[in-house]
Amino acid sequence: MNKEGKFFNLIAYIYLTIAVLLVITPLYLLIVVSLKPLEDSVRNFFALPSSLYLENFKKVLSGDLYMNSVKNSVFVTVFPLAAVIMIVPMCAFAIARNMHRFYYKWLYRYIISSIFVPFAVIMIPVVILCSKLNIMNVPGLIIIYIAFSINQALFLFVGHIRNIPRDLDESAVIDGCGVSRLYFKIILPLCKPMIATVAVVNSLWYWNDFLLPVVLLNKSQRYFTLALYQYMFNDPQNYQFNLAFASYFLGMIPLVVLYLSASKYVVRGLTAGAIKG
């Protein structure tokens, strides 16, 4: 290997080392601080815990507001995700197989065009509409999440389904397979990578989102999601960061489990859905 190649390899290793440190350091602090009492954290923030201290987790889990916030977060994650996974693949199948028709093509373009509209532009109209409809609550947030998720999910599913050969459709029809059976028996199983991708990407958004809950669920603490509950620790007069870090650690566990269980499909699904649109 020449000197130029060695130089670029050195730069690549340095870059990767910095990237790894940027990822590992916050995770290290999250785990270490959540396992120490407040006094030890104040004394030495970066030191390892001298013993396994679980009182932070017990205090967080014993709070009624925390459990209610977790319940709300589960609702605003599971229900929109279930609705998107049930509805969008069907619409994507219809559009992908009829893209040569004027109506379907322009319907698809119309829906996809909303991806390019920043949320800041529509935030105030959304809040006003939700207020007039009296849905400034958890069910209202679920409806908003479903509406905002359709465009991106449709883009990914249409791209994925268009990569599935039409020969499968024709063979199934020749064998006497109807449209509904074709979709559920052939198309939907082949969409598993994309379903996993949409599930992971949208779950990360629903579970960690702060902006929509703070503008729609600020009437009462009983509507708070986990992100709003964690924001309550941000009190400069009494910032108990050991309890805050413990709640962050607990809130991270469901997403890590979801990602690890679906990670083998995610890259494949994103790649397949990005080829055609």
Minimum mean pLDDT range among 27-31, 130-134, 188-192, 234-238: 234-238
- Assign 167 a pLDDT band (cuts: 50, 70, 90): confident
Higher pLDDT, 3 or 49: 49
Alpha-carbon gap, residue 199 to 12, rounded angstroms? 32
Q: What is the mean pLDDT of residues 204-221?
A: 90
Q: What share of the chain is helix, strand, coil (3-state, %, to 5)?
A: 80, 0, 20
pLDDT at 4: 67
Q: Which residue has the tokens 């479903």?
A: 146
Is pLDDT at 126 greater than 80 in this prediction?
Answer: yes
Instruction: Return the beta strands (E) in the chain as ranges.
Output: none
Q: What is the mean pLDDT of residues 137-141?
A: 93
Alpha-carbon gap, residue 40 to 44, rounded angstroms? 6
pLDDT, the chain, mean: 87
pLDDT at 218: 85
Q: How far is CA 173 from CA 121, 181, 248, in A?
A: 46, 10, 51
pLDDT at 236: 61
Q: What is the mean pLDDT of residues 87-97?
A: 94
Percent of all residues in the chain with a pLDDT value above 70, rounded to a whole number: 92
- Assign 275 a pLDDT band (cuts: 50, 70, 90): very low
Of 39, 119, 81, 109, give the one whose Cα is nearest residue 255. Answer: 81
Alpha-carbon gap, residue 87 to 190, rounded angstroms? 16
pLDDT in tens, 142-157: 999 999 999 999 999 9
pLDDT in tens, 231-243: 887 766 666 788 8
Give the global pTM. Answer: 0.85
Is pLDDT at 127 greater than 60 in this prediction?
Answer: yes
- Assign 109 a pLDDT band (cuts: 50, 70, 90): very high
Could you tell me where in the chain the CATH 1.10.3720.10 domains are found?
Answer: 62-273
Q: What is the mean pLDDT of residues 75-97?
A: 95
Q: How far is CA 48 from CA 40, 41, 248, 252, in A?
A: 10, 9, 18, 20
Task: Give ∠ CA 163-261-33 in degrees, rounded to 5.
Answer: 130
Percent of all residues in the chain with a pLDDT value above 90, rounded to a whole number: 39
Of 46, 26, 165, 33, give the one whose Cα is nearest residue 96. Answer: 165
Hey, how many other C-beta atoms are within 10 angstroms of the C-beta on 103?
9
pLDDT in tens, 256-272: 888 888 777 766 655 55
pLDDT at 268: 64
Tokens of 166: 């039409």
CATH 3.40.50.300 fits 62-273, yes or no: no
pLDDT at 272: 55
Kindly compute the dihedral angle of the four CA atoms of residues 81, 83, 88, 89, in this order, to the nearest 10 degrees: 80
Helices 138-162 and 119-132, packing angle to 10 deg: 130
